[in-house]
Amino acid sequence: MITTLALPLHQQLRHLRQDRDLEQQQLAPAAGVSDSALRRWELGQVSPYIRHAAAVARALHHEIVITRHGVVIAALAETLADLAGFRHRQHVTRADLAALLYISPASVGITERKAAAGQQLTVATLERYFDALGYELGLASLKEVPTC
């Protein structure tokens, strides 16, 4: 089951942790992060790198996924290596996406190259990117994530 899709990812993770009756101090070590960092992420004070959010999701037996209208499209981890290809398949140019995000086309290219190279991107950056394309980041149980 996909959890709380209308919410930003940090709120989805918090709700999932609370649904499992886990304290931040219990979850943080299992995810390999500090409890103070987890607290700041859950409050939306700081946007974590996607690898840290993915570690929290895995500790909760979930994976970050790309969704559209509540339907899981793909696992985020599988999509990051070809973010530009994902955009192309939506028939959106770099310039069009840049205009939607109020940034330069070069900034879109930098984000896509960073993703392809496995470099750090924040959850906030990816949420904005996918939102502009009409998608959301959500959580799905590991056993429910489709493989491409």
113-125 pLDDT tens trace: 999 999 999 999 9
Domain ranges of the chain: 9-144
The CA dihedral of 133, 134, 137, 139, to the nearest 10 degrees, is: -140
pLDDT for the residue 143: 76
Q: How far is CA 14 from CA 4, 25, 85, 148, in A?
A: 10, 13, 31, 28
20-30 pLDDT tens trace: 999 999 999 99
Model's pTM, two decimal places? 0.90
pLDDT for the residue 142: 86
Q: State the sign of the Cα–Cα–Cα–Cα dihedral 135, 86, 145, 26.
A: negative
Q: Which residues of the chain have pLDDT under 70?
A: 1-6, 144-148
CATH architecture of 9-144: Orthogonal Bundle (1.10)
DSSP state of 18: H
